[in-house]
Amino acid sequence: MASLRDWIRRHALLITLATLAYVPLVLTAPGKVPGDTKLYLYLNPWRLMSDAVFSWDARQFGGWVPHQNVGYLWPSGPWFGLFDLARVPDWIAHRLWIGSLLFIAGAGIVHLGRRLQLPTSSIAVAAFVYQLSPFVLPYISRTSALLLPWALLGWLVAVTIRFTHDRRLGDLALFAFLIFSSGGLNATALLMIAPAPVAIILDALWRRRITIGRAMSTMLILGATSLAMSAWWLAGLAVQGRYGSAVLSYTEALPSTSATSTAPEVLRGLGYWLFYDRNDVVPLTSASNPYQTNVAVVIVGVAIVLIGLGGLSRLRSDVRRPLAFMLFSGLILAVGAFPYSAPNPIWSLLVDRPQSALSLALRSSTRAVPLVIIGIAFGCGWA
């Protein structure tokens, strides 16, 4: 019994994060499932995965090239497939999936905070702010797999720190696994968090912990590893881009997707255009209303941003620099083409060619918001 109490005391923070991640979700709307990502994830996940191996589906529309089906081979497809084999109800499988994404995100911040040798209280606040960010709201009932880069960001930064200084093969293998697991369904979601590892390497170079040669070779190794671990879904994406239907030109045009990515919204962890979309009766994301109309919710959100920015300025310089780099690079990337009539110079080329493949690929620039959140979260922990 004493050993159990000791274990609970040592892991109290992770236990609390897990409780916040799983319990509210399991208690919410029992027996009901949202239309998350693909209907076949619920109805027949094994057929979805068997179809995803191929870039051609002859059973629909007289034959066509599906949209990014290959990404369901890992990890969401096997997750729902295993629960299907175990005959666990779909709604429970979905709640545990979302809860696991939330918990992995919070635990990653805890792991990173300990790696940065921050006080436990600061780590706890940072983990709560990151795990409970409103960033997840437009995704958890619609395209939850796009949360994988957000959920794995803390782990990715921590393993980059270790590999940059120690060059251990195990760390490279873990980095490879994290990349392998995070980008299959959306290339932009993975690409937009790339500044995080870069920030760690540049900071180590700035502090003269590594040489220029070591920094360049580290970037080369991690870049090549990322490309290799993404080849399985990049191949399918290339086929889709060449032979698939150009639906995004009509459904997610750049002027529409960039209309809501303002700097204040991005700093609050929001800005994704679907969060604000609505039909004649209700918003398409029901949780969006309080963040737009409830004065108290808006004030709390702004206060978290101000506290986070203030705390970030007081962090140790070796922690502050990379986090500030992530925050500001994430802010620039996430704001993207807003305002569409006068975007920043980085995005002006995309605005000039809104139907180009690159413009459509980067249309949802708010995939970079996790970089902003991680800076705000650790800043709140130090405030």
**For 287-344, how does the pLDDT look when each residue is reduced to its tens digit (9 = 90+)?**
899 999 999 999 999 999 999 999 999 999 999 999 999 999 999 999 987 887 778 7
Q: Closest Cα to residue 357, out of 183, 189, 188?
A: 188
197 cis-preceded (ω within 30 degrees of 0): no
Q: Is 298 helix (H, G, I), strand (E, B) or coil?
A: helix
**For 187-223, how does the pLDDT look when each residue is reduced to its tens digit (9 = 90+)?**
888 999 999 999 999 999 999 999 999 999 999 999 9
**Residue 244 CB: number of other CB atoms within 10 A?**
17
338-342, Cβ contacts within 8 angstroms, sequence gap of 24 or more: 338/258, 338/259, 338/260, 338/261, 338/262, 340/254, 340/255, 340/258, 340/259
199-202, Cβ contacts within 8 angstroms, sequence gap of 24 or more: 199/321, 199/322, 199/323, 199/325, 199/326, 199/329, 200/157, 200/160, 200/161, 200/164, 200/322, 201/160, 201/164, 202/322, 202/325
Q: Which residue has the higher pLDDT, 343 or 374?
A: 374
Considering the chain, what is the average pLDDT of its residues?
90
Please determine, for residue 130, whether its predicted confidence score (pLDDT) is greater than 70. yes
Question: Token match 């004030």: residue?
Answer: 299
pLDDT at 269: 97
Q: Closest Cα to residue 288, out of 272, 302, 310?
A: 272
- HSE of 377 in the Cβ direction (CA atoms, 13 Å)? 32
Whole-prediction pTM value? Answer: 0.94
Q: What is the spatial distance between Cα 28 and Cα 342, in angstroms, rounded to a whole number?
A: 43
pLDDT at 263: 95
- Eight-class DSSP state of 247: T
Q: What is the spatial distance between Cα 14 and Cα 205, in angstroms, rounded to a whole number?
A: 33
182 contacts 197 by C-beta, under 8 angstroms: no
Both tokens assigned to 62? 């007289």
pLDDT band at 246 (very low <50, low <70, confident <90, very high): confident
